[in-house]
């Protein structure tokens, strides 16, 4: 009996056809519907076949016209997730318990090396400049702690953010920005503004576990759409879902430096995604937590840049790029602005003023750009060293993503390994990792691990990778 899953058998069948030249580069790949008919398989299996081929680098989704055969990448550019997500509709996320257990176990442990963090090492942040700005702000306004600011936040900071957004061709007016307690509060506000408990919200699969927790805490149902490390969310699969019977109230997407995949959506896909959501009246929630950490000197476009409907909610964070301890983020909610501002007022009032003043003074100067440039170069070096360290120490067959920026690597272990077992064994010896299973409500990412490389590579880190390698060989 053939124990290979059906989608794998079909993917292998198409791989053979591509290798033998029966299917040629540039040719249109059979549509999902055609595959369902031809092979008598379910929608989910057909989508899984495409996903598998995308991850092999032989298929690319082109906006509006479907999937096409492409030249595979060289082996030096490994793919990330190779397993497909479910297309089960209607399930509550249900991951909260598992995520909480992982986070609690980590907090109780004595952690010597933390690979689970998405932050940069403390010394990489411009803390001295921010401290100086704080002292200056306190000197200039000695009544700062006696007064409360507006719900929307400090206008000087909102002006700086609006001006900076222009560099990524994102037009937002300072009057329509609300400063938040990180992207977490921004996304909570966005979801509360546009959904009611029981509604269905689509997300990429895998996705940042914090988003799954937020959805569950708001009693929303989740639908996972395949995403690849090449081009992010799979648009044909999304379109299929949007055309289906389930009403998708909102979709949360991380288009630039996806967590955990590291993917960056091509511009054409961004434009098509925005259009698709507008056509189906699905609110698009853009999570741009990592955009400023993209390697490229030219800032990437945001989804917001392509939006003409005003039905897109843009959420961003300064916690990974500037100062994790300040907990600052922001939201520009388009036509939902008034509702978001009202919800922010009822939920927590405006954010405190001192950090906002210090940040706006720093971000408004050329020092910020110079700092970001340095940070990106440093992170690129750290990612490279960490990837080499992982591939040297982990079992043969391990694949590591190659994101073009940021602090995160998505590592695929050979299938027989359980990242949850590795998580527990590693924690016992003081090493913390993020097990892949918490990035989806399904079990398909159980042999993946997310490794943070925000800290400079060091003998201590190298030793920790050797220990992980040893644990994987037991």
Residue 179 CB, shortest distance to ligand PLP, in Å, is 12
| Nearest Cα residue to 57 out of 34, 86, 77 | 77
User: Which is closer to ligand PLP, CB of 383 or CB of 417?
Assistant: 383
User: Which is closer to ligand PLP, CB of 23 or CB of 455?
Assistant: 455
Residue 229 CB, shortest distance to ligand PLP, in Å, is 15
Q: Cα–Cα distances in Å, from 386 out to 295, 383, 410, 437?
A: 17, 5, 12, 22
Q: Cα–Cα distances in Å, from 201 out to 89, 116, 215, 241, 272?
A: 10, 26, 8, 11, 19
User: Which is closer to ligand PLP, CB of 329 or CB of 334?
Assistant: 329
User: Which is closer to ligand PLP, CB of 417 or CB of 450?
Assistant: 450
Separation of alpha carbons 430 and 411, rounded Å = 20
Residue facing ligand PLP at closest CB distance = 182
Q: Spell out a b/e string for 209-228, using b for 16 or more CB atoms within 10 Å of the CB, else e.
A: bbbbbbbbebebbbbbbbbb
Bridge partners of 250?
Answer: 201, 283
For 143-200, the DSSP string reads TGGGS---TT--HHHHHHHHHHHGGGT----GGG-EEEEHHHHHHHHHHHHH--TT-E
Give the list of residues 6+ apart from residue 103 with CB closer than 8 angstroms, or none. none
**Residue 370 burial class via C-beta count within 10 angstroms: exposed 0-12, middle 13-18, buried 19 and up:** exposed
User: Which is closer to ligand PLP, CB of 151 or CB of 319?
Assistant: 319
User: Which is closer to ligand PLP, CB of 228 or CB of 259?
Assistant: 259
Residue 423 CB, shortest distance to ligand PLP, in Å, is 18
User: Which is closer to ligand PLP, CB of 208 or CB of 445?
Assistant: 208
Residue 183 CB, shortest distance to ligand PLP, in Å, is 4
User: Which is closer to ligand PLP, CB of 184 or CB of 240?
Assistant: 184
Residue 329 CB, shortest distance to ligand PLP, in Å, is 5
Residue 118 CB, shortest distance to ligand PLP, in Å, is 4
Q: How far is CA 247 from the centre of its chain?
A: 24
Separation of alpha carbons 252 and 222, rounded Å = 10
Residue 293 CB, shortest distance to ligand PLP, in Å, is 11
* DSSP structural state of residue 439: G
User: Which is closer to ligand PLP, CB of 205 or CB of 259?
Assistant: 259
Q: How many CB atoms lie within 10 A of CB 308?
A: 9
Separation of alpha carbons 471 and 388, rounded Å = 18
Q: Cα–Cα distances in Å, from 324 out to 119, 121, 180, 185, 258?
A: 7, 10, 13, 14, 19
User: Which is closer to ligand PLP, CB of 67 or CB of 319?
Assistant: 319
Residue 318 CB, shortest distance to ligand PLP, in Å, is 7
Question: Could you list the residues that contact ligand PLP (CB under 6 A)?
Answer: 118, 182-184, 208, 210, 254, 259, 287, 289, 317, 319, 329
Residue 7 CB, shortest distance to ligand PLP, in Å, is 28
Query: What does the block give as tokens for 291?
Result: 């955009």
Pairing of strands 448-452, 200-205: unpaired
Residue 455 CB, shortest distance to ligand PLP, in Å, is 16
Residue 26 Rama label (left phi>0; alpha psi -120 to 50; beta): left
Residue 21 CB, shortest distance to ligand PLP, in Å, is 41
Kind plus residue range of the DSSP H or E element containing 136: helix 127-140
User: Which is closer to ligand PLP, CB of 53 or CB of 316?
Assistant: 316
Query: What does the block give as tokens for 357?
Result: 């003043």
């Amino acid at each position: 009996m053939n124990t290979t899953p059906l989608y794998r058998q079909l993917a292998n069948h198409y791989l053979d056809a591509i290798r033998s030249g029966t299917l040629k580069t540039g040719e249109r790949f059979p549509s999902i519907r055609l595959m369902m008919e031809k092979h008598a398989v379910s929608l989910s299996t057909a989508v899984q076949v495409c996903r598998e081929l995308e991850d092999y680098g032989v298929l690319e989704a082109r906006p509006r016209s479907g999937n096409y055969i492409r030249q595979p990448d060289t082996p030096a550019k490994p793919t990330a997730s190779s397993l497909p997500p479910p297309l089960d509709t209607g399930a509550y996320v249900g991951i909260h318990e598992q995520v909480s257990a992982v986070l609690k176990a980590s907090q109780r442990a004595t952690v010597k090396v933390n690979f689970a963090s998405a932050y940069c090492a403390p010394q990489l942040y411009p803390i001295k400049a921010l401290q100086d700005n704080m002292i200056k702000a306190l000197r200039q306004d000695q009544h700062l702690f006696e007064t409360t600011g507006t719900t929307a936040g400090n206008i000087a900071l909102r002006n700086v953010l609006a001006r900076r957004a222009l560099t990524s061709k994102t037009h937002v007016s300072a009057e329509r920005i609300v400063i938040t307690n990180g992207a977490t509060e921004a996304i909570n506000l966005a979801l509360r503004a546009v959904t009611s408990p029981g509604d269905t919200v689509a997300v990429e699969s895998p996705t940042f576990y914090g988003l799954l927790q937020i959805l569950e805490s708001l009693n929303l149902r989740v639908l996972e759409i395949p995403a690849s490390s090449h081009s992010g969310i799979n648009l044909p699969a999304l379109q299929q879902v949007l055309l289906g019977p389930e009403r998708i109230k909102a979709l949360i997407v991380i288009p630039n430096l996806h967590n955990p995949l590291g993917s960056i959506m091509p511009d054409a896909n961004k434009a098509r995604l925005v259009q698709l959501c507008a056509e189906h009246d699905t609110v698009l929630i853009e999570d741009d937590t990592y955009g400023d950490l993209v390697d490229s000197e030219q800032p990437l476009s945001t989804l917001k840049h392509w939006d003409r409907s005003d039905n897109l909610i843009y959420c961003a964070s300064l916690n990974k790029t500037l100062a994790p301890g300040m907990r600052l983020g922001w939201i520009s909610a388009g036509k939902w602005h008034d509702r978001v501002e009202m919800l922010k007022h009822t939920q927590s009032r405006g954010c405190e003023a001192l950090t906002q003043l210090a940040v706006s003074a720093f971000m408004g100067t050329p020092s910020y750009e110079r700092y970001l440039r340095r940070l990106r170069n440093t992170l690129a070096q750290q990612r490279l060293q960490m990837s080499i360290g992982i591939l040297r120490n982990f079992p043969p067959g391990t694949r590591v993503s190659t994101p073009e920026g940021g602090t995160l690597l998505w590592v695929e272990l050979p299938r027989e390994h359980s990242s949850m077992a590795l998580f527990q064994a590693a924690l016992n010896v003081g090493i913390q990792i993020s097990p892949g299973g918490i990035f989806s409500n399904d079990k398909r990412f159980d042999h993946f691990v997310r490794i943070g490389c925000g800290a400079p590579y060091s003998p201590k880190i190298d030793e920790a990778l050797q220990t992980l390698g040893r644990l994987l060989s037991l």
